[in-house]
Structure 1
Amino acid sequence: MLADRLQELITVDLVTRTVHPGPASGTHHYSLTPHGNAFLIPLAALTVWAEDHLPDRDAPAPGRPPAPHH
């Protein structure tokens, strides 16, 4: 599944793949393309929005009591 997702990111030019010679099929290195790096700006803004507007993972859903701790 990871290989499929990486291939999708390569296809839309967000990630590049480099193969370095080595035993068997070699070592693969993935990195962001300039297009992928540009995506970090809106992603950072979305992260800030989520931190400000979404509940903490451990917080109870609105209207629900906290879960008991074991």
Structure 2
Amino acid sequence: MTSASHEPGQDPPADKPGRSVEDFLRARAERRRERIRGQLARDRQGDHLVPTWVMAVAVAAMVLGWLYLVISS
């Protein structure tokens, strides 16, 4: 008779502590909040490679160029 095997270094499924759905969702939300906080902290440092207004002008130029091609053809 063979028993269900598990990976070395891991507890068998019966020994795992149970986590409720609320605990799982709470932990997931906290990880997301930490990622957002980290991103905001990096963004506030201001060491961007390209200023926002340059990116906005580039996008506007591409859209206007595309519209010109669509209208003129």
Bigger proportion of residues as strand: 1
Structure possessing the higher radius of gyration over alpha carbons:
2
Richer in helix (by share): 2
Fold agreement, TM-score > 0.5: no
Larger RCO (alpha carbons 8 Å, 6+ apart)? 1
* TM-score, normalised relative to structure 2: 0.29
